[in-house]
């Protein structure tokens, strides 16, 4: 199966972001990709909740998503919008990942579970929970010979989610992201390789990159990693671009047979906690 990761530099105008995405989707389709992943906050990358509220569209009838569905049908490919903000009744938003099937219909959605609330030296504090509500369910979806596990950015720091996805059948895990530069330089590659190794799965990570209109800078370096933890394709920069790689489901079975960590895992007691 051929897959594509699309690296973007999304701004504050959803129509402009979609216009930047369209030729890269066409390039992925021309290269034979059956699945294309875009980054986190593909449609708009806001600075704050007020900015987001001024342009975020309801999920039902969402104008950019409707056009993406048409492109999926036109190209006969799965298109996975890494995430976009969806207004909720409490005034916050869901950070929602949307997978379109080759028929143009929505095949699956996933709301980001783990929210990034942190203070990084030299940068403004990030408080995703002030704008977003966390999701509550892990999601997998069939994807040809593969089963796709869905995650978003900060999720990658929580191995339990990836273990759960793999035990639910996922052997290709998507990680759309908008990683900061300092944390990207320190942790991007090692975290993604670890998630591939411990689950014996392919990992595809499509990233935002560069200096954005909201004043933030993101790391880029979109990746595809095989089940043995090897980086098989990378955009080694933060410029917009497309990354295409071939993946083979038999390598998942081989990695899991050589290191059967999923099968060997056991429950255990933790000192100082109540046990069932």
Indicate the SS3 state at residue 19.
helix
Q: Which two tokens stand for residue 257?
A: 């047979």
Active-site positions?
Answer: 40, 112, 153
CB 99 within 8 A of CB 148: yes
Q: How many CB atoms lie within 10 A of CB 30?
A: 10
Give the count of alpha carbons within 13 A of 126, CB side only.
17
- Alpha-helical (H) ranges within the chain are 14-30, 49-53, 63-75, 159-167, 181-183, 189-199, 249-258, 261-264
What's the CA gap between 226 and 172, in Å, rounded? 9
């Amino acid at each position: 199966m051929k897959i594509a990761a699309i690296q973007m530099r999304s701004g504050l105008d959803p129509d402009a972001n979609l216009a930047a995405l369209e030729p890269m989707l066409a390039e992925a389709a021309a290269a034979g990709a059956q699945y294309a992943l875009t980054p986190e906050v593909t449609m708009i990358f806001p600075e704050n909740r007020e900015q987001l509220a001024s342009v975020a569209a309801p999920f039902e009838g969402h104008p950019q998503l409707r056009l993406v569905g048409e492109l999926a049908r036109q190209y006969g490919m799965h298109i996975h919008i890494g995430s976009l903000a969806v207004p909720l009744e409490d005034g916050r938003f869901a950070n929602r990942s949307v997978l379109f099937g080759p028929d143009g219909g929505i095949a699956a959605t996933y709301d980001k579970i783990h929210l990034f609330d942190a203070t990084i030296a030299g940068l403004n504090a990030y408080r995703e929970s002030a704008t977003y509500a966390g999701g509550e369910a892990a999601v997998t979806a069939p994807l040809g010979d593969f089963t796709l596990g869905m995650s978003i950015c900060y999720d990658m720091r929580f191995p339990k989610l990836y273990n759960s996805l793999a035990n639910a059948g996922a052997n290709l895990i998507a990680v759309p992201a908008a990683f900061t530069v300092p944390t990207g330089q320190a942790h991007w590659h090692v975290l993604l390789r670890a998630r591939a190794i411990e689950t014996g799965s392919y990992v595809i990570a499509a990233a935002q990159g560069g200096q954005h209109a909201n004043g933030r800078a993101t790391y880029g370096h979109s990746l595809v990693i095989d089940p043995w933890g090897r980086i098989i394709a990378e955009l080694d920069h933060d410029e917009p671009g497309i990354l295409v790689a071939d993946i083979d489901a038999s390598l998942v079975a081989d990695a899991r047979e050589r290191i059967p960590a999923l099968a060997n895992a056991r429950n255990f007691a933790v000192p100082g906690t109540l046990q069932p």
